[in-house]
A and B are shown apart, each in its own frame.
Chain A
Amino acid sequence: MEIVYTRGGVIPYPGNSTENKTGSWRVFKPVINYEKCIRCMICWQFCPEPAILKIKDEDVKKNTPAPKEPIKRLPVPEIDYDYCKGCGICYNECPVNAIDFVKEER
């Protein structure tokens, strides 16, 4: 990336840290098991990156597996592996053990 210097070190590009793909930090990887996920969004709530997305797209809601049919009305949590550092908070906090924590393979 070509550096454009600003005066006083001002960064006029809000949120451009997304250029840093911190997913490369990961040693363990959380994987959501949608068959068990009740879409409570606690993982999304506590993700410090934040690297868990709340997907509200109707097709995604419908087409993502769920333990019960009514749950398909709810937004779907989706891990953004570009940024997930693999801290495991989501895995630890999931109330229905719907997140597996597996060794990252590269």
Chain B
Amino acid sequence: MTENYEDMEFFAPGHGMCAGCAAPIIVKWVLKLSGPNTIVVNATGCLEVATTAYPHTSWRIPWLHVAFENSAAAASGVEAALRATGEKANVIVFGGDGGTVDIGLQALSGMVERGHNVLYVLYDNEAYMNTGIQRSSATPWGAWTTTSKVGKANPIGKLRPKKPIARIIAAHNAKYVATANPAIFQDFKKKVQKALSYEGPRFLHVLSSCTTGWRHDPSKTIEILRLAADTGLFPLYEIIDGDIENMRITYHPKKFKPVEEYLKMQGRFRHLLKNPDLVKKLQDDVNAWWEKYGYH
């Protein structure tokens, strides 16, 4: 029986993350569940910038930042050093979607392939928020960003779907891969605990809303994230040992809500609502996904 640290905070207040940002909720819970014997590696991004402005830090556990695209590599080095000295500690990476799904994908792929004993937590707010809401490969189809602008010639915004990063990492035969959502709290918590219980490369893809980039009222963070799950837009599943065929859906909404409910709460999708065909296309895509994978 490991000790319970749920009532302790390893992530201190006084940080500069926007009011209502979901990322600190994810971070504080991962740390509560991993406890103090943890080393965090953090990719460049909002989380890193807003929590470690010299001489102040929000981290009460050892923390390392090297750069944007190489957190998985830096974590590989930390883990190799632990192996060299025979020490045991959780090595956890926090990276955003840009640092993970785009520029950091190679380092992450290498880390997983080499089998490092690291838990990589992607907090995915679906765009480059730290630089001002530019599209990433994790931005969903139809989202407005400052580099997938909406106008007369493009009424959609981002024209390509989101990269299925969890399945890509699972295809590396990662020990444990799961998608998670802090609003579906018990599922999220269970997955963090499960990920922590395994040895080897583990990957959690956690959806994280951004009040500024998604354009929503800060108080609605959890409500919107819950809708991402309940509309079926962000399915929650887990894949063990790379067995993608046996991907297990861990959260089935009791009754699927129409995607429109999710879209209408966020400024980044406002343009879609003017065009019922676009909303229908998105709904069809969601239905098709669940048709294909939903019965696992």
The range of chain B's interface size is: 35 or more
Whether, in the assembled complex, B147 has its beta carbon less than 8 Å from a beta carbon of chain A, the answer is: no
**Chain A residues with CB below 8 A from B61, complex form:** 14
Known: A87-B219, A88-B20. A13 touches B25 (CB 8 A): no
Identify the stretch in B5-13, B94-102, B148-156, B249-257 within 8 Å (CB) of chain A at 4 or more residues.
B5-13
Q: Is the CB of A83 within 8 A of B60?
A: no
Bound-state CA distance A87–B24 (Å) is 13
**Chain A residues with CB below 8 A from B211, complex form:** 87
Bound-state CA distance A91–B12 (Å) is 21
Q: Is the CB of B57 within 8 A of A11?
A: yes
Bound-state CA distance A47–B221 (Å) is 11
**Chain B residues with CB below 8 A from A18, complex form:** 12-14
Bound-state CA distance A15–B60 (Å) is 5
> In the complex, how many angstroms separate the beta carbon of B92 from the nearest chain A beta carbon?
16
Of B14, B23, B182, B222, the residue contacting A20 (CB under 8 A) is B14
Q: Chain B binding site: helix, strand, loop or mixed by DSSP?
A: loop
The range of chain A's interface size is: 35 or more
Whether, in the assembled complex, B266 has its beta carbon less than 8 Å from a beta carbon of chain A, the answer is: no
Bound-state CA distance A16–B56 (Å) is 5
A-B residue pairs, 7 tightest by C-beta: A88-B219, A15-B12, A17-B14, A87-B20, A83-B13, A85-B19, A87-B19
Question: CB within 8 Å of A: which residues of B?
Answer: 7, 9, 11-17, 19-25, 28, 51-52, 54-61, 182, 185, 211, 217-223
| Cβ contacts A to B, 19 pairs, < 8 Å | A1-B55, A13-B56, A13-B57, A15-B58, A17-B12, A17-B58, A20-B14, A20-B16, A21-B14, A22-B14, A46-B182, A48-B19, A80-B13, A83-B14, A85-B20, A88-B20, A88-B217, A88-B218, A89-B20
